[in-house]
Amino acid sequence: MHRLALVLAVLVAGCATTEPEPAPEPTAEPRVLVFTKTAGYRHASIPDGVAALRALGGARGFEVDATEDSLAFAPERLAPYAAVVFLNTTGDVLGPDGEAALRAYVEGGGGWVGVHAASDTEYAWPWYGRLVGAYFESHPPVQEAALAVADADHPATRGLPARWMRTDEWYTFHAPPENVRVLLRLDGASYEGGAAGTPPAAWAHEVGRGRSAYTALGHTAESYAEPLFLAHLGGAVCWAARLDCAR
């Protein structure tokens, strides 16, 4: 009986242990990691976003892995990726080791893209605040608004209309981003509850040797079926990952 109890104890302990997902196998095509963990509000559009990024990868020549596992943020597991996308993450999603790994990855030359609620993430981590550029403050109801292209010579805005009317959840931020290349501006007068003036809605900047791009767009499931939004998102990923993606 003693031997049987020991075997059962070993089996139970093994079942209770959460093993990290294995690192991806090397492939000929570049890889992008899409991270979707939430510790607050969870966007219903996350599966649509993951599917859209997989389709963009197929069209533009990169492979996509998606995870909600914080243990994916370790140096050896981030090494295969050209960029990491925080897709509608919320709250405190990384522990100290994961934070250190992401910082080393980006500052060492990796790419990072934040989509919409990525700015509603990691409020207590100052470096992340610099990475994303601005923290979410509030939003009015989903509605149509006008965007203006502020920089037409960036892969994330190339080909977009100068004045772009679309429906989304429009964010205001605690403070505007500093030392960034503004890509899109929101016309605050074009919708109810809008911020004053023309605040930035998408931007990009260098972080160490790496690249960071953020777009406040991407709340609705419908966004991920919009050709213009997908061109915007795909361009941001390709720029951050330093990929020469065909449109």
Q: Is the pLDDT of residue 106 over 90?
A: yes
Angle at 40 (CA atoms; ends 170, 110), nearest 5 degrees: 75
The Cα-based distances of 204 to 66, 115, 171, 240 in angstroms read: 23, 12, 17, 9
Phi, psi of 27, deg, nearest 5: -135, 165
Q: What is the pLDDT, as a whole number, of residue 214? A: 98
Query: With contact defined as beta carbons under 8 Å apart, do 112 and 131 qualify?
Result: yes
Dmax (CA) for the chain in angstroms is 77
User: SS3 of 67, please?
Assistant: strand
* 144 φψ region: left (φ > 0), alpha (ψ -120 to 50), beta (else): beta
- Which single residue is written with the structure tokens 């109801």? 141
**DSSP per-residue string spanning 42-61:** --TTHHHHHHHHHHHHHHHT
What is this structure's pTM?
0.89
Condensed to tens digits (0 to 9), the pLDDT of residues 193-202 reads: 988 899 999 9
DSSP state of 30: -
Q: Is the pLDDT of residue 102 over 70?
A: yes
Query: With contact defined as beta carbons under 8 Å apart, do 149 and 160 qualify?
Result: yes
6 band by pLDDT with thresholds 50, 70 and 90: very low
- Which of 39, 173, 178 is closest to 98 using CA atoms? 39
Residue 113: Cβ-neighbour burial (10 angstroms; 0-12, 13-18, 19+) = buried
Q: What is the pLDDT, as a whole number, of residue 245? A: 80
Q: What is the pLDDT, as a whole number, of residue 27? A: 56
Token representation of residue 47: 């599966």
Strands 63-67 and 31-35: parallel
Distance CA 204, CA 183 (A): 7
- Tell me the percentage of the chain whose pLDDT exceeds 90: 85
Note the helical H segments in 108-163. Answer: 126-132
Query: With contact defined as beta carbons under 8 Å apart, do 88 and 56 qualify?
Result: no
Condensed to tens digits (0 to 9), the pLDDT of residues 147-195 reads: 999 999 999 999 999 999 999 999 999 999 999 999 999 999 999 998 8
246 band by pLDDT with thresholds 50, 70 and 90: low
Q: Which residues contact 107 (CB under 8 A, 6 or more apart)?
A: 207, 208, 209, 210
Amino acid at 31: R
Q: Is the pLDDT of residue 2 over 80?
A: no
Helices 46-60, 227-241: crossing angle, 10 deg rounding? 70
Domain boundaries 29-136+201-241, corresponding CATH code? 3.40.50.880
Q: What is the pLDDT, as a whole number, of residue 15? A: 35
- Across 2-6, 113-117, 216-220, least confident range: 2-6
Q: Is the pLDDT of residue 18 over 60?
A: no
